């Protein structure tokens, strides 16, 4: 099983749209960086939301 990606977790839970994720991924491809931080910098999600979903991501990693 692959590591759960933060963008996918946010998308699955309805926090972001596919378009918002696509924009963040395009930005990442051009400029580098982490998708979660890009979404915060683009003001799509708050830092609190990022922390919550990073914790969820870490929790899922321990279940793999």
pTM score of the predicted model: 0.90
Kindly state the average pLDDT of the residues 56-64: 86
The whole-number average pLDDT for the span 43-52 is 98
**Average pLDDT for the chain:** 95
Q: Which helix (H) or strand (E) holds 1?
A: none
Rounded percentage of the chain residues whose pLDDT exceeds 90: 86
**Total of domains in the chain:** 1
What is the mean predicted confidence (pLDDT) over 29-35? Answer: 98
> What pLDDT, on the 0 to 100 scale, is given for residue 1?
56
Instruction: Copy the structure tokens of residue 9.
Output: 């977790």
Give the H/E segment covering residue 64.
Answer: none
Asked, for residue 18, whether it belongs to a domain, the answer is: yes
Q: What residue numbers bound the domain in which 26 lies?
A: 6-62
CA 38, 40, 45, 46: dihedral to nearest 10 degrees? 160
Domain annotation covers residue 1: no
């Amino acid at each position: 099983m692959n590591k759960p990606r933060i963008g996918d977790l946010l998308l699955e839970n309805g926090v972001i749209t596919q378009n918002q994720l696509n924009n963040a991924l395009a930005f990442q491809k051009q400029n580098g960086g982490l998708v979660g931080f890009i979404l915060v910098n683009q003001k799509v999600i708050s830092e609190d939301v990022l922390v919550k979903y990073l914790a969820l991501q870490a929790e899922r990693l321990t279940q793999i």
